[in-house]
């Protein structure tokens, strides 16, 4: 018979994580990492309510972005490309991509 696991209190998980981070810091495992000391890149999360941003960031880092959020990022990328487009053909192609994304997001 399988033993039932009891839930771990969040405070205990936080304490364990902090201890592991402190030990890794003492061993120098965070020294000389790429981008050390540089600010984090800005995130395009103004459409996400503030109380959900941390959770969405965790999902994103785990590769589990909700489809609609992924579409929003792609739409922003296309919007930036549209601002730099040089020809009408480029604009038409980008608008077609944008239209396709919008159709998928709405379905």
Give the phi and the psi of residue 40 in degrees, each rounded to 5: -70, 150
Kindly report, residue by residue over 42-92, the tens digit of the pLDDT.
777 777 788 888 888 888 788 887 777 777 788 889 999 999 989 999 999
Give the global pTM: 0.42
Return the pLDDT at 62. 85
Return the pLDDT at 1. 62
* Residue 105: count of CB within 10 angstroms of its CB: 15
The Cα 33–Cα 49 span in angstroms is 31
The Cα 50–Cα 45 span in angstroms is 9
**Mean confidence (pLDDT) of the chain:** 84
Tell me the residue length of the chain. Answer: 107
């Amino acid at each position: 018979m399988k033993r039932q696991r009891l839930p771990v209190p969040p405070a205990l998980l936080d304490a364990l994580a902090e201890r592991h981070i402190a030990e890794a810091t003492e061993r120098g495992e965070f020294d000389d990492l790429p981008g050390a000391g540089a600010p984090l890149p800005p995130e395009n999360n103004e459409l996400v309510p503030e109380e959900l941003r941390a959770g969405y960031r965790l999902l994103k880092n785990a590769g589990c972005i909700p489809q609609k959020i992924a579409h929003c990022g792609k739409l922003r990328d296309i919007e930036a490309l549209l601002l730099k487009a040089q020809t009408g053909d480029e604009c038409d192609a980008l608008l077609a991509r944008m239209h396709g994304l919008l159709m998928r997001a709405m379905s």
